Structure 1
Amino acid sequence: MGNKHERQLTIKELRTVQAQELRKQTKRHIHDRLQIVRKESSELSAIWDVDPDSALRFHSGVVLGDVDCESTPGFESRKSDAKEFVSLSSDEIGNYQSLLYANGVKGSRRRILIVLQGMDTSGKGSMVEHVFSQTNPMGIHYHGFGAPTQKELNHDYLWRIRRELPKYGWISIFDRSHYEDIVMPRIFGTYPRQIWEARYDEINDFEHRLTQDGCVIIKIFLCISKDFQKKRFLRRLDDPRKYWKFDPSDVKAREHWDDYMDAWQEVMERTSTDYAPWHVIPANHRWYSRAVLSQILRARLQDMNLSWPPADFNVDLVRQHLKVM
């Protein structure tokens, strides 16, 4: 009896050791996989002659009206190379996004807000389609801001912005944003100057609180030329499938092109901060602007240095319980 009982204990102990070793191997596999992803990200970044995150940040001396919208700073390869880069980068963004989402489910406050601004036809919508092609819809929130509705006008201008902010572990993309509430009143005089003027500091405080609470903010201005916009408009008018994209008011906005540039120039000068800097991206070549956002986003996700959340329950106990159910 004693020997039999002793042998049963030995087998049980062996199974426990095997289970422990399997968990160790699984943890090593996850760790190794994360290391591979991070290594691949570093290798992908090497395709850039200069880091676009730093090279394209707005700084004193940058004048929007002087930006060469045809240029591709830091990327001297071909269009086909840029497309391949975005495809590979998007795959890694998908991996990192899964980590971000999982950590958010477990209580992490980390999240990302991407603000996309630019004149009509600058490619904001198509950029989202390409850069986020490999991500899980669960964890991605896209919202386009148009003219405020009457309901939104009944609240302060940041009310509708707060409603669309990313939840913990999520990435939110704003196609236009709270900055429209400075630019539009300034150009069209819908509010007195003292109202929209005060919004510079209010927005800086708003974004500062967000970043202190774990939200990474990426602000992108897609810079296109006036001639480029005209060509895109004419192309839309030549294609009945794209009439829905066009509004006659878009043409009227072209009459205020210089006013828009002046307004956005001041926005950058007064709201590009260390915690939420603006990036000015030449966007006549959409393949380039997509590659830039993909690189910046992937680098920010990588810098979070996330790992899979550990179990907050007794794995062995739950496993044994399931076996006998």
Structure 2
Amino acid sequence: MSPTGEKFGARELRKIQDQQMREQSKHHRRDKMRMVRKESSELSSIWDIDPDVALRFHAGLILGQLDCGSTPGFEGRKADAKEFVSLSSYEINSFQEQLYANGIKGSHRRMLIILQGMDTSGKGSMVEHVFSQLSPMGIHYHGFAAPSQEELNHDYLWRIRRELPKDGWISIFDRSQYEDIVMPRIYGTYPRTIWESRYDEINAFEHRLVDDGCSIIKIFLCISKDFQKKRFLKRLDDPTKFWKFDPSDLKARSHWDDYMNAWQDVMERTSTNYAPWHIVPANHRWYSRAVLSQILRARMQEMNLAWPPADFNVDMVKHQLNNPASTE
């Protein structure tokens, strides 16, 4: 497709960026949020297919047969995706500030983002890129490794509950409670009766969260086995990346088909209408980052938040500031 015929082109991105720069010079927050919501709709129109809908897990989707190098709904290139994420992050930051402000004032609205995928699928780097422009205030990231002895002494959801988002916050999980189904299933660390019961337990757990005001985004980053091999070899050629590799990673790789089957069952049994799974092709990391940015921004826009009103007499406080003698 020629540059002039691209749906996702530099001209459109520059137009949106110019609008944002003009908006940054304004100080009235109400007008700012109105502009952000308008621009958010314009950014969403860049996608041929809304990834929040197109990438949801559905009956008939087989993980092992997915084209992990595809970019559904996005006709742009790597540079376009990077610029899209940058523009989208600006708007996410504005929405997140409102979410946090409402949490301070008693709202239970909050968000949980769950990232899953095989080793080298890009979970960590996705967080770095999508959230790089956001204020750390109100953002909580946690990576779940193998359970510690303390965690094993409790119910498997104990460590999950400890990291859940507070009111007004966004929590990002790198791995999650779903590891407590997949890992014992593959390696036999618990009887089937134990991990089998966890599908329904997790569904009920997430349902309670949603009912209490927590929006849940679940992303599975789908990479090919050949892509993982290339990423591993790249790490082994770079001494600064040796720390990212563990020989045990090869054990997991040898169970690739077992992992795909286990995750297939997870998707079929825990992708619900209140907390659906999104299956994201991730051989192109720039694409998967753009997908998360789009889904996150759209979900936050759908919250339709407003700035919390003052719980004090604004005019009286202004008067006191302008007339300090009156308060002495």
Shared fold (TM-score greater than 0.5)? yes
Distance 1:33 1:289 in 2: 28
- Cα deviation digits, residues 153-181 of structure 1 (max 9, x gap): 00000000000000000000000000000
Q: Alpha-carbon deviation of 1:228?
A: 0.2
Task: Give 1:139-288 correspondences, 5 Å limit.
Answer: 139-288=138-287
Q: Alpha-carbon deviation of 1:301?
A: 0.3
Distance 1:222 1:153 in 2: 27
Secondary structure of the structure 1 residue equivalent to 2:47: coil
- Match for residue 56 of structure 1? 55
- Match for residue 324 of structure 1? 323
- Match for residue 9 of structure 2? none
Q: How many residues align?
A: 298
Q: Alpha-carbon deviation of 1:267?
A: 0.2
- Match for residue 94 of structure 1? 93
Contact kept in structure 1, 2:68 and 2:224, CA below 8 Å: yes
Distance 1:36 1:180 in 2: 41
Distance 2:292 2:29 in 1: 27
- Match for residue 15 of structure 2? none
TM-score by length of 2: 0.90
Contact kept in structure 1, 2:216 and 2:275, CA below 8 Å: yes
Distance 1:31 1:289 in 2: 32
Distance 1:322 1:206 in 2: 49
Larger Rg: 1
Aligned-residue identity in percent: 79
- Cα deviation digits, residues 200-249 of structure 1 (max 9, x gap): 00000000000000000000000000000000000000000011111110
Secondary structure of the structure 1 residue equivalent to 2:305: coil
Q: Alpha-carbon deviation of 1:46?
A: 1.0
Distance 1:226 1:208 in 2: 33
TM-score by length of 1: 0.91
Distance 1:34 1:78 in 2: 29
Q: Alpha-carbon deviation of 1:32?
A: 2.3
Task: Give 1:271-310 correspondences, 5 Å limit.
Answer: 271-310=270-309
Secondary structure of the structure 1 residue equivalent to 2:111: strand
- Higher mean C-alpha displacement, 257-266 vs 34-43: 34-43
Secondary structure of the structure 1 residue equivalent to 2:197: helix
Contact kept in structure 1, 2:33 and 2:94, CA below 8 Å: no
- Match for residue 32 of structure 1? 31
Q: Alpha-carbon deviation of 1:134?
A: 1.3
- Cα deviation digits, residues 254-307 of structure 1 (max 9, x gap): 100000000000000000000000000000000000000000000000001111
- Match for residue 18 of structure 2? none
- Match for residue 7 of structure 2? none
Secondary structure of the structure 2 residue equivalent to 1:321: helix
Distance 1:307 1:133 in 2: 24
Letter in 2 for 1:159: W
Distance 1:103 1:48 in 2: 30
- Structure 1: tracts of 5 or more residues without a match: 1-27
Distance 2:208 2:235 in 1: 41
- Match for residue 113 of structure 2? 114
- Structure 2: tracts of 5 or more residues without a match: 1-26
Q: Alpha-carbon deviation of 1:30?
A: 3.1
Distance 2:105 2:181 in 1: 37
Q: Alpha-carbon deviation of 1:324?
A: 3.3
Once superposed, what is the RMSD of the aligned Cα atoms?
Answer: 0.9
